[in-house]
Amino acid sequence: MKKFILASASARRREILSHIGLEYTAIAADVDEITGLPDTPADIVRELAKRKALALSDKFDGDTIVIGSDTVVCMDGRVLNKPKDKDDARRMLKSLSGGKHQVYSGLCVTDGEKTICTHAVTTVKMRDISDDEINAYIATGEPLDKAGAYGIQDKGGIFVERIEGDYYNVVGLPLEMLCSILSRDFGVSVLEIIK
């Protein structure tokens, strides 16, 4: 029976895997997330997901599959990381209001011998958000630890008009892509192993 390691400290990624019933251990990968990164959002998330997965893969035997992931929000070619403070969150939310942006998630799956790295992109359309709504949302504290200053799975979801692509990608882990890679490349059918 394969064991699974999620190379992430993200509560949202843990929730996604727990919701489908996959048994795993979450271990935060200690990697450099700043130095030597590529230029494009797709390349950045693939590289960071790979760094996370490979940082842990040497610590386990071949019966272990390590899953690394990283997510960024991008608008008009600009990557929106987690806000530095409330003013930064306010600026981000105003820029997202009424427009479309992309959420990129890199995914890297490895068993130490085989490594598959890819990414998913989801387009998110936000409705117009008033200044009062932005201030009330910031007062909840929720946007301060989220890339792009919102969480679609929490209160920030009230601002999302529609998405084009994988919802779970916006949360932080492209679930369908992960399950397809596990089945196609590692011979693991998630539906056969979940409880």
pLDDT given at position 125: 98
Cα(73)–Cα(78) distance, integer angstroms: 8
Residue 190, pLDDT > 90, answer no
Taking only the tens place, the pLDDT of each residue in 56-74 is 998 887 799 999 999 999 9
Q: What is the CATH number of the domain that holds 184?
A: 3.90.950.10
Cβ(186)–Cβ(62) below 8 Å: no
Q: Which DSSP state fits 122? A: E
Taking only the tens place, the pLDDT of each residue in 24-41 is 999 999 888 888 888 899
Cβ(66)–Cβ(57) below 8 Å: yes
Q: Which two tokens stand for residue 127?
A: 């409705």
Cβ(85)–Cβ(149) below 8 Å: no
Residue 194, pLDDT > 90, answer no
Cα(7)–Cα(109) distance, integer angstroms: 10
Taking only the tens place, the pLDDT of each residue in 140-170 is 999 998 989 999 999 999 999 999 999 999 9
Phi-psi region of 76 (alpha: psi -120 to 50; beta: other; left: phi over 0): left
pLDDT given at position 195: 59
pLDDT given at position 36: 87
Cβ(96)–Cβ(75) below 8 Å: yes
Q: What mean pLDDT comes out for the span 167-182?
A: 96
Alpha carbon 164 to its chain centroid, in Å, reads 16
Cα(54)–Cα(45) distance, integer angstroms: 14
Catalytic machinery residues = 70
- For Cα atoms 107, 47, 176, give the angle at the middle one, nearest 5 degrees: 10
Q: Which two tokens stand for residue 18?
A: 């727990």
Taking only the tens place, the pLDDT of each residue in 79-117 is 998 899 999 999 999 999 999 999 999 999 999 999 999
**Structural domain tally of the chain?**
1
Structural domain range at position 90: 3-193
Cβ(22)–Cβ(194) below 8 Å: yes
